[in-house]
Each structure stands twice: as C-alpha cells, then as structure tokens.
C-alpha cells in the first residue's frame, strides 16, 4: 500500500489566473502549500507554508470540497491527499524557501505546463466545473 502524504494548499486565483509553484530540483508545478507540523491546525499550517514559500500573508476563504488525492509528484510510491482553500494573498508573492519558480497561469497555460498529477486532474477540474476558472479555449 502506498504511503499517504497529507498537505494543505492554497488556490489563489486573480483575473482568471491561478498561482502555481515549482519546488527546487523538480519539474512539476503545483499549488503552494505543504505538510502541517505537529499541533498545527490545517489553516495555521497553510498560513505558515505561504509565509515560508511566498514571503507574504494569506487570508483563507472557503475550503474546496471533493476528493483531492492523487499520485505524489515528488515522492515515488506515495499518494498526496490535499485540503485546499480558496485564498487571497496579503502582499506580492516571491519565490522563497524551497520554491524555485512561481507563475500565474490560465487554464490554457495549464494544458501544456508540467503539472503535478493532483493539479492536472482533480484540482483543475474542480476549479473549472465550480466556475472558479474558465473553460480552456483550446480543446
């Protein structure tokens, strides 16, 4: 049985663009966030991770509902299980800590960008079907 990695993530959408990050030494883009530390609530962990990774604060909104689990992008043999909040950033994000790159992407951009399995499959679908991101212009 594959190990399960529990994470918290922020879905930050501004002008129909989603903020995605790529960690150092990896190729796949994913939502910003990470693993909670012992004793942290999920929202505390999310706020800490965003401060560490993007150098800014975060105001979490509603949590997305659904099954957000898929093959882990960077940990072979593991499944990542995510809790995802729509969120607003309190400041301009910059790549910090283990983040090598950040991008604001459209749904069309995501069709060709290397994405983590969870983002490419379930998260992107939930954002589009939930009316939070527009349908891709290209089929």
C-alpha to C-alpha distance for 42 and 8, rounded to whole angstroms: 6
Q: Residue 97: which residues within 8 A CB-CB, separation 6 or more?
A: 52, 53
pLDDT of residue 80: 97
CATH architecture of the domain covering 3-129 = Alpha-Beta Complex (3.90)
Q: Which residue ranges make up each domain of the chain?
A: 3-129
Which residue numbers in the chain have pLDDT < 70?
Answer: 1, 138-139
DSSP state of 115: B
Measuring CA to CA, which residue among 66, 49, 62, 72 is closest to residue 118? 72
| pTM metric for this prediction | 0.94
C-alpha to C-alpha distance for 32 and 98, rounded to whole angstroms: 11
pLDDT of residue 138: 64
How distant is the alpha carbon of residue 2 from its chain centre? 21
């Amino acid at each position: 049985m594959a190990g399960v990695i529990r994470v918290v993530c922020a879905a930050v959408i501004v002008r129909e663009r989603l903020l995605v990050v790529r960690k150092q030494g990896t190729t796949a883009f994913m939502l910003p966030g990470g693993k909670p530390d012992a004793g942290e609530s999920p929202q505390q962990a999310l706020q800490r991770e965003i401060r560490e990774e993007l150098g800014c604060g975060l105001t979490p909104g509603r949590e997305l509902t659904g099954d957000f689990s898929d093959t882990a992008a960077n940990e072979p043999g593991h499944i990542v299980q995510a809790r995802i909040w729509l969120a607003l950033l309190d400041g301009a994000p910059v790549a910090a800590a283990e983040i090598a790159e950040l991008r604001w992407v459209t749904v069309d951009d995501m069709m060709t960008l290397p994405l983590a399995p969870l983002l490419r499959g379930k998260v992107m679908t939930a954002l589009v079907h939930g009316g939070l991101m527009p349908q891709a212009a290209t089929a």
